[in-house]
Structure 1
Amino acid sequence: MSDLFDAAPVQGHVPLAAALRPQTLEDVIGQGAITGQGTILRRRISAGALGSLILYGPPGVGKTTIARAVGNMLGKEFRPLHATRDGVKELRKIADEARIRPLLIFVDEVHRFSATQADDLLSICEEGTADFVGATTGNPYHALPPALVSRSTILKLEPMSIDDMEEVVRRGLAHLRKQGSDVEMSDAHIRLVAGRSGGDARRALTTLESLCLGHPGGRVTITEAMLEEAYASAAVNHDRSGDQHYDVVSSFVKSMRGSDADATLYWLARLIHAGEDPRYIARRIMVHASEDVGLADNSALQTAVAASTAVERIGYPEARIILAHAALHVARAPKSNSACRGIGAALELVEGSAPVVVPKHLRDTHYAGAAKLGHEGYRFPHDDPRGWVEQDYVPGLRPGSLYQSDARGSASFEARADRFWEDLTGRRVAKTFP
């Protein structure tokens, strides 16, 4: 994928994004946590010891822009490579050149490097032959060889804020006007372009350029209709195989867990708009119906399972309503983590200790001779008018050591169950929140 400020041809039209390419970090909009005074990047530039750097973040947030600006500030020639276009031969050629003149080697989409390319890159990093900056949209801790990660400083870039995006759009308008375009755009429309660009400066500038260029002479006033046309098929940033996917899914399930119905609908809409498989979304809702609602409202899992079955038969666009129904049930239901926490504690106990010998009164008796082996003494709860009898099911297992009630409020199933068992047994149920 080309970067926001990839070099444009010398002749012909220069794209707006390329024309606005910053030359120093002071010119970069946003990413202050990376580029500001006193940051690790600034300190390395001041010391003239950049070393190996990985810039990690979504498209259009300025990874190559920052790399070029760093090269300018260090006084080093910027030599870009692209993992899908340039092989080992080009990498070795640049490495040889770096031994006679100061270079900054930049590799776009470094996560696509082959094992051989990565080995050569590691050699350059090890020897300090040249400064190296890699850009990736994938999480480097997952997508890059561990050896390269361990030798590099990892800097994570975030999507630009809407205020930063507005500044990008205004800077683009100022440039167009300077070039002779008489463009009129309201503050509301500037903010709309900024917001609809999803934190991607390249997308904002490309949209702005599309809106402003190609009109016959005279003033160009950006209208609502023009914006509707520009965004008729525009997609929200959402890489279904990368971090953007997992971050949006994470936000969706955490909003359900946090009982924020509006946020749940927003992140669900992001997934639907991006074309996420409704079956995948339904599976996530099923998991969290048990993990986060659980015994507080057993019907949440029923709703989630029904939704999963329904979207198998219906699909989009109507499936969005079913998914919203199930997601809102999880979001609005009282919460209990006791099932998830309890099975986790039980597995930890089983994995970390010797197995408990099955008590004789619990062993299978469905064969002749079981009684002769001493497999007897089990008391059948249904023979007692209370439906419960006192007996040992796991010797030495203290009540409440694995299951602890998360009952909150009197309306939940778990709270009603607590009251029932406390009244029946005369013992207080172990609770997470007494």
Structure 2
Amino acid sequence: MQNEPLAFRMRPRNIDEIAGQKEIIGEKTALYRMIKNGHVPSMLLYGEPGIGKTSLAHAIAGTSNLPFIALNATVSGKKDIEGVVAESRITGKVLLFLDEIHRFNKLQQDTLLPHVESGAIVLIGATTENPYHDVNPAIRSRCGEIRQMTRLEPEDLLAVLKRAMSEEERGLGKISIEISEEQLVRIAEGVNGDARKALTVLESVVAASDELDGRLVVEDWLIDNLLGRIGLFGDKKGSHFYNLLSALQKSVRGSDVNAALYYLANLLEIGDLVAVTRRLLVMSYEDIGLANPEIGPHVLAATDAAMRLGMPEARIPLANAVIEMCLASKSNSAYKAFDAAVRAINEGKIGDIPPHLRDTHYAGAADLGHVGYKYPHDTPIGSFGGWVNQSYLPDKVQGAEFYKPILAGDEKKLAGIYEKLKEFRRVK
């Protein structure tokens, strides 16, 4: 057993050994009570790598004493599923843990679903992707529990590390190790909620430590060195990546500079510069908009510079853009107005284009009644430029008002002009 990685050896043997996840499997949850009482529902477990999806499945198997089979949907075929079905016919019920379940293909699904539905197979599916986006509806409908697991808190990870240090059979309890509480806390705080990484760092630190007077002495610099080599930010294009993009936009919209920079840093560490620059450019028009029309060109310049520079220099113009957007006046009135116009069209609020607005660049246009257009530039109005009181909307849509100004930043001036022109139109 000692040849197996520490993280593998220290997997919880039952649900009472699960670290964290109290809202999902704590003693006061319905799921805990069901499993303790011998009923294990099919379920989907969703969350980032290293937060305990596989461990929870093993712990449920250990508590329920059901025959346990683990498969990975990326490499399993129809024969593997048929083997699980055959096992269920012998034992009466099997607990199947299917990792990467979002990769499940239709053939596997068709083979497995009737047996999940009948209760012969209890399915625990694990995925790093949002199950409502990436798991087939047929699978979701047969899972009584869909649970999003979260990163572990440092205190939960500290308990995991201490258990590994004390257990002799599975952990490091037979080895004489000099490691302080503060050093264990440093590991727990430095792995971003990932229990697997915490145990891996602990095992690596112990393996790299020198022996002194019969004890392995753990030094701070070893912990710092190993923590610095661990990626904490997730993968491109996974659910966590899109959650980071969402958090960045919502932080900018909420004018929180520090939160926005934090999420920008996460995204740039992942490395998908194209997706980040695209989202920033969209935000400049979606969330800043008419309140500060200069932001759009500023962000375009920053994103263009970032793409030319590449990382790590790209972080400099992008940080400028994010801070400027956070502290700028904000308005979503323009795209809201456009969406309102689209909604009106889809609701059937349509009509013919007024004759005086139709194309006249051909002989015979006048014969068709395409006449009466008044050229606004011929009628100056103060410092505004040209304006003339004539109808532009179809008759059936007259009076529709899609644009609702927001009195923020530069849009205050635009709102004033908009209201004044409405007054002019009312004067016949």
The verdict on a shared fold, with TM-score over 0.5 as the criterion, is yes
Q: Is the 8 A contact 2:233 2:269 kept in 1?
A: no
Partners of 1:358 and 1:86 in 2: CA distance: 60
Larger CA deviation: 39-48 vs 285-294? 39-48
Partners of 1:15 and 1:64 in 2: CA distance: 15
CA RMSD of aligned residues (A): 2.4
Aligned positions of 1:231-246 closer than 5 A: 231-246=227-242
Q: Is the 8 A contact 1:381 1:389 kept in 2?
A: yes
Letter in 2 for 1:105: L
- The Cα shift of 1:294 comes to 0.4
- The Cα shift of 1:131 comes to 1.9
- For 1:159, the equivalent position in structure 2 comes to 151
Letter in 2 for 1:391: Q
- The Cα shift of 1:335 comes to 0.8
1:23 pairs, out of 13, 22, 32, with 13
- For 1:105, the equivalent position in structure 2 comes to 96
Unaligned stretches of 5+ residues in structure 1: 1-9, 429-434
- The Cα shift of 1:358 comes to 0.4
Q: Deviations over 1:4-26 (max 9, x none)?
A: xxxxxx4x424222332222222
User: Percent identity over the alignment?
Assistant: 37
Q: Is the 8 A contact 1:292 1:336 kept in 2?
A: yes
Letter in 2 for 1:257: R
Aligned positions of 1:24-423 closer than 5 A: 24-101=14-91, 102-153=93-144, 154-175=146-167, 178-187=173-182, 189-218=183-212, 219-276=215-272, 278-386=273-381, 387-394=386-393, 395-397=395-397, 401-408=401-408, 412-423=409-420
How many residues align? The count is 414
- For 1:432, the equivalent position in structure 2 comes to none
Q: Is the 8 A contact 1:17 1:202 kept in 2?
A: yes
Partners of 1:377 and 1:224 in 2: CA distance: 84
Matched residue of 1:213: which SS? helix
Partners of 1:200 and 1:290 in 2: CA distance: 37
Matched residue of 2:413: which SS? helix
Q: Deviations over 1:21-49 (max 9, x none)?
A: 22222211111111023434224325533
Larger CA deviation: 123-132 vs 39-48? 39-48
Unaligned stretches of 5+ residues in structure 2: none
Q: Is the 8 A contact 1:87 1:117 kept in 2?
A: yes
Q: Is the 8 A contact 1:51 1:125 kept in 2?
A: no
Alignment CA distance shift 1:191-1:91 (3 Å): same
- The Cα shift of 1:160 comes to 1.6
Q: TM-score, normalised by structure 1?
A: 0.88
Larger CA deviation: 376-385 vs 237-246? 376-385
Alignment CA distance shift 1:31-1:117 (3 Å): same
Partners of 1:240 and 1:259 in 2: CA distance: 26
- The Cα shift of 1:85 comes to 4.0
Larger CA deviation: 45-54 vs 317-326? 45-54
Alignment CA distance shift 1:179-1:415 (3 Å): same
Q: Deviations over 1:275-332 (max 9, x none)?
A: 12x2321111110111101000001110121123212322111111111112222211
Larger CA deviation: 291-300 vs 162-171? 162-171
Alignment CA distance shift 1:339-1:306 (3 Å): same
Q: Deviations over 1:202-247 (max 9, x none)?
A: 0111011111224342344544421332134321231212111111
Q: Is the 8 A contact 1:183 1:212 kept in 2?
A: no
Partners of 2:397 and 2:159 in 1: CA distance: 63
Partners of 1:177 and 1:215 in 2: CA distance: 14
Q: TM-score, normalised by structure 2?
A: 0.89
- The Cα shift of 1:96 comes to 1.8
Letter in 2 for 1:226: L
Partners of 2:291 and 2:161 in 1: CA distance: 49
